[in-house]
Amino acid sequence: MTIELYDYVLSANCYKVRLLLSLLEVDHELRTVDFHPAREHRSEAFRRINPMGHIPVLVDDDVVLRDAHAILVYLAAAHDPTGRWYPTTDARVLGEMGQWVSFAEALMSSASAARLHVNLGYDLDVEAARRDAHALFRVLDDHLWFQEKAGRTWLCSPEHPTIADIAVFPDVVLSEEGGVSRLEYPAIRRWCDRVKAVPGFDVMPGVFGLGMS
């Protein structure tokens, strides 16, 4: 049975899942949820699929999963024969991936919140969200700059990207929609270019590819 993803095109969290599905070349169907303006994710019908009323939700045969980061873990474990996207044999790498997935959670309440305020009118303290996003970006830029100096390309130690990169990338690359400039973070910008260069990379509205076609 084909994998189904309950999806909204402008959602950064849904994009994380679409991106990994594309990178893994996994066939799937999108079930569009009218997140805005209809708030379909809060509807009774959708709550039968996800009682928490959030997207994305992934359905793979009898596996029904909510939460983008949980879905990334599942997809990498179940559909990546190379085992590279979620390597589980090295304790250090497992810890690193967990650390950056938590970082991605922090982006959701800062960079992502600012974007929801600007794009969809969410009522929140946008200046505080932007300040928090910049504080996180400073940490991320520091980390990526020293990774480059150590000859590393990605968030975690392996020589290839992992789900940590996929979890963090969308809210970073979309930050300017929320008024969080990346002018001060050159290492982040170079890492965004590198993510875009991974074979199978997928775009979304507001996220461009590297080349012109």
Partner 1 sequence: MTVGGWQPIAALDDLAPRHVFQASLDGQELAVWRADSGELNAWENRCLHRGVRLSIGFNNGAELLCRYHGWRYATGTAGCTYIPAHPADAPARTITNRTYPIVERYGLVWSGREVDGRPEEVAELGAHTLVLRALPVWAPRSFVLDALVDHRFAPNEGLDVDPAEVEMTCDRRQGSIVLTAAHGGSSSTVVYWVQSLDAHTSVIRPVLAETPDDVIAVLRHHARALRELVDRVERTVPSRSVEPQGPLETPVVVERSAGSGPHIEVRVRRKWWTAPDVAAFELTPLAGVLPTPQPGSHIDLRLPNGLVRQYSLTNGPGESDHYRIGVKLEVDGGGGSTLLHDVVTEGDVLTISGPRNGFPLRRDTEHTVLIAGGIGLTPLLAMAQAIRLDRRGFELHVFVRGEDALAFPDVVESFGADATVHVALSPAQTAGRIADVLVAARASHPGALVYACGPAPMLDVVRATAAAAGWADPAVHFEYFSNHHEIDDSTPFEVALARSGTTLEVPAGTSLLEVLRGAGVALPSSCEKGACGTCAVPVIDGTPDHHDVYLRDAERAANTTMLSCVSRARSDRLVLDL
Write down the least CB distance from residue 172 to partner 1, Å: 14
Per-position x/- string for 99-138, each x denoting binding to partner 1 as judged by CB under 8 A, each - no binding: ---------------------------------------x
Under a CB-based contact definition with an 8 Å cutoff, are residues 136 and 107 in contact? yes
Write down the least CB distance from residue 138 to partner 1, Å: 8
Write down the least CB distance from residue 128 to partner 1, Å: 15
Q: Does 1 bind partner 1 (CB under 8 A)?
A: no
Query: How far apart, in Å, do the first and last CA atoms of the chain sit?
Result: 32
Burial of 24 (0-12, 13-18, 19+ CB in 10 A): middle
Q: Which of residues 152-211 bind partner 1 (CB under 8 A)?
A: 182-186, 189-190, 193, 208, 210-211
Part of the chain binding partner 1 (CB under 8 A), chosen from 17-25, 58-66, 120-128, 145-153: 145-153
Given the rule CB under 8 A, which residues bind partner 1?
138, 142, 145-146, 148-150, 182-186, 189-190, 193, 208, 210-212
